[in-house]
Structure 1
Amino acid sequence: MDLLNRSDIQSLAASEADGIHVSLMLPTHRFGSGIQADQLQWKNLVQGAESVLLQEMRRPDVEALLAPARELLNNNLPWQYMSDGLAMFLTPAGSQMVRIPASLPTLAAVGEHFVTGPLMRLLSGDAHFLLLAISQGSVRLMDGSRHPVRQIELDDVPTSLADVVEPSGRSDSMARSLTAGRGGRAVFYGHGVGADEAKKDDVIRFFREVEAGLREVLAGQTAPLVLVGLEQNVSAYRELNTYAEVLDEAVLRSPDELSVDELHQVAWPLVEGRLRADRTRLISRFHDLQGTGGQVSSDVDAVSDAAEQGRVETLFIRSDPWCWERVEDGGDPPVVRLGTDDRFAVCEEVESAARHTLAYGGMVHATSQEVVADSELAAILRY
């Protein structure tokens, strides 16, 4: 699981699996010498979690619980394909690993629930975006942030016209023309009667199937989506699109000639303006509501209580750095037994507020000190 949506995060946050819950998080590097440092840091996190777990569990049970984390440590291949943040969630019933295009705190947490607050920055639209590079010969979906994008596997989505249109089944005068698709299948178009209309119909059919497949992939997503492609392809796809967050602006050029990094370079300026405007609008609303009789708050206890009661409409939590990272721990990565360490009590309150806000249909925005400089969180209340 990599392309997280609100439902995925809410399921993790509300996990009722039996037994202890372990959350492991790490900011990661996409390439370079930082990859080896990431693996070493992951090893330290796993060992830290193990030391906490051994205080209340038998060693064989601890080893079984942490086995997926150790398997990842000992497999070099996945570390070559990381994004900006890595998280793994483990219970005796199973585990889930996610890579996200946004930085996470370095953290190992053991408790009766998962730590999911840092993942919620993906829901606000101010941390990441989606990019769809579309042509008749290639379809690529990517997610990313200010940093380079990462391609998402599309197992059940056709990624070229040749995946949808078979070369047989038409007369010679209506033979099709397109460069080879996946698997090297070459398809040719002739100039007979009706060939242009037939090709147009095939392209529309292809884009319709792409849209249908992406509808399932993007279900529950709220991030802005940038289209990259030739004008005729973008226009045709836009007519069929059902994803609500597609930007009106698009990059109108062939994506086939662009690398992943180049796609990020041409798309980011469009996304950055949208994200900045959304963030500014929300922060301005918070400040406009100050002094209106309790409709906003930056008191941690008050916001936490309001979240439990379902009264938080929008929650802002600090993320630069995360609360978990600001607690002095002798230079070692934080290893926390939830509910027992007073140093992290405020962090747990922030986590609880985020979890309850999400459960009651509110929005969680990971931001810096732009809202209230001296508080871990702030909220716009429903009432």
Structure 2
Amino acid sequence: MNKKDKIKQMILDCQNLDSPKITVVMPTHRKSPENRKDMILFKNLMNDVLALLESHYPRNTYEKSLVKLRQLQEDSMFWTYNLDGLVIFACGELLETFRLQYSVKEKISVAQAFHVQPIFAHQEIYGKHYLIDLAKDRFKMYSINQDKIDEMNDIEIKTSFSELYDDFDTDSNINVGIYGGLSGMYHGHREKSEENKKDREKYFRYLDREFKKLHQLDDSHFIFAGTSENIAIFKSISQESYYHELTINHPLASLKPEDVKDFIRDILTPLEEEKRKEIEQTIRKAQYHEKYVSDFSIINEMVEMSQIKTLIVKEKQSIAVNIPLDKLVNQVLVYQGNVITYDEGTINIDDDVSAILR
């Protein structure tokens, strides 16, 4: 289930619960010792959440949520594998967490709607990108964006051929030999280079299947690094569109970190610019066909009629949340609409909130 579907399900599951919708948005850190600050920040934000709960709601409506949130607070393993941002939703006994590959401003909300906009930030619509450092019998995987490259050590994909085929016996398959006499004595062993090629192809086919699962899960895309030979062989096996055409034709170990960042920036920047132009073009087309609305009250009416195709929200720097806007965003998701949140200046739109109609 992707993020949008998980959020929608959380909203639906909480609709009939007599419990406030709690949202915690906070920046986090990928590495130690910086990530030790994350638990402390969450504890401080929870103090603010509790103050709001106690002043606005009967205790019996939020006790179960507090139990869940305190369990999360004390789960040291959860706080070990952070990315750059985190959004937490709680309602009754239900709790969902979303790790983000970009930093966010800390915010809390205790209301009748979740504050979901940070999950649909403009950075998120570019999709998730992974860097694959590919060798013939192993690989490393990195989570990347314009500014950061972080090796992923907790993935479920087998990172080497020997790990995938741990019971593989290199002497078990004999393909080439010299026979002596009628006894048929055998003194040979398999052709090593031929077997190495077969093993590489077998491993690459396995990786292709696993990368496909990742793409289906979170719409991820993959940039390859490695020798030209290994990349060419992998791409001869699979030509999926989520494998970027542009590659880094060097193993990462042979490059300086600054050079790797430059390569990635050169690949991602045009993609992001293309996505921005695509959004602006979609808006202009909607305006031309009179399918664009920027009046908040009209947008509220249209969402009840299931007429909102895409809601576009300009993200403000204020720490305060906009409760009426949060309710609108929640409704759009329930009625199968899309949401785009963008920072001021990144997309050429004058309106703070607007919608494209179906």
TM-score normalised by the chain length of structure 1: 0.73
Q: Give the partner amino acid of 1:93.
A: E
- What displacement does 1:244 show? 3.7
Q: How high is the sequence identity, in percent, across the aligned residues? A: 15
Distance in 1 of aligned mates of 2:354 and 2:159: 43
Counting only pairs closer than 5 Å after superposition, residues 62-211 of structure 1 correspond to structure 2 as: 62=62, 64-74=64-74, 79=79, 81-121=81-121, 125-126=125-126, 128-152=128-152, 155-165=155-165, 166-171=168-173, 194-211=191-208
Contact 2:314–2:344 (CA under 8 A) maintained in structure 1: yes
Distance change in 2, residues 1:134/1:310 (3 Å):
farther
Check whether the contact 2:283–2:292 (CA below 8 A) recurs between aligned residues: yes
Rate the CA distance shift 1:350–1:40 in 2: closer, same or farther, 3 A: farther
One-letter code aligned to 1:108: I
1:330 equivalent in structure 2: none
Structure 2: distance between partners of 1:345 and 1:233: 52
Task: Report whether the alignment pairs 1:303 with 2:299.
Answer: yes
Gap change, CA 1:141 and 1:365, over 3 Å in 2: farther
The alpha carbon displacement at 1:151 in A equals 4.0
| Residue 351 to residue 135, structure 1, CA distance change in 2 (3 Å) | same
Q: Does the CA-based 8 Å contact 1:298-1:372 persist in structure 2?
A: no
Asked if 2 retains the 8 angstrom alpha-carbon contact of 1:123 and 1:364, the reply is: no
* Compared CA separation, residues 129 and 155, structure 1 to 2 (3 A): closer
Once residues 243 and 113 of structure 1 are traced to their aligned partners in structure 2, the CA distance between those partners, rounded to angstroms, is 39
Structure 2 residue runs without a partner (length 5+): 177-187
Q: What's the CA shift for 1:84?
A: 1.6
Query: Contact 2:329–2:339 at 8 Å: present in 1 too?
Result: no
Quick one: distance in 1 between partners of 2:245 and 2:79?
36
Number of corresponding residues: 343
1:156 offset after TM fit, Å?
3.6
C-alpha displacement of 1:85: 0.7
1:218 aligned counterpart, secondary structure: helix
Q: Which residue does 1:218 correspond to in 2?
A: 215
Q: Would you say 1:375 and 2:351 are equivalent positions?
A: yes
Taking a change above 3 Å as real, the CA distance of residues 377 and 115 of structure 1, as seen in their structure-2 partners, is same
Q: Which amino acid in 2 is paired with 1:203? A: R
Query: What is the one-letter code of the residue matched to 2:351?
Result: S
Q: Report what 2:342 is aligned to.
A: 366
Q: Could you give the per-residue CA deviations for residues 58-101 of structure 1, whole angstroms, max 9, x where no partner exists?
A: 37x85552244335545667556432211222233343333211
Q: Is the 8 A contact 2:315 2:343 kept in 1?
A: yes
- 2:330 counterpart of 1:352: yes
3-state SS of the aligned residue for 2:104? coil
Query: Counterparts of 1:100 and 1:195 in 2: how far apart (Å)?
Result: 45
- For structure 1, list consecutive stretches of 5 or more residues without a partner in the other structure: 175-190, 328-333, 335-343
Instruction: Tell me the alpha carbon deviations over residues 247-294 of structure 1, each in whole angstroms, 9 at most, x when there is no partner.
Output: 21111111355698875443232011111112112213423543x252
Which amino acid in 1 is paired with 2:66? L
**CA spacing shift, 1:377–1:42, aligned 2, 3 Å:** same
Query: In 2 relative to 1, CA 306–197 (structure 1 residues): closer, same or farther, beyond 3 Å?
Result: farther
Cα drift, residue 346 of structure 1: 4.3
Counterpart contact for 1:104–1:118, Cα < 8 Å: yes
Inter-partner Cα distance in structure 1 for 2:44 and 2:147: 26
Query: Which residue matches 2:248?
Result: 251
1:316 maps to which of 303, 312, 319 = 312
Residue of structure 2 in register with 1:8 after alignment: 6
8 A Cα contact 1:109 1:115, kept in partner: yes
- Give the match for residue 182 of structure 2: none
Q: Contact (CA 8 Å) 2:146, 2:268: kept in 1 or not?
A: no
Give the match's secondary structure for 2:48: helix
Question: How far apart in 1 are the matches of 2:127 and 2:316?
Answer: 12
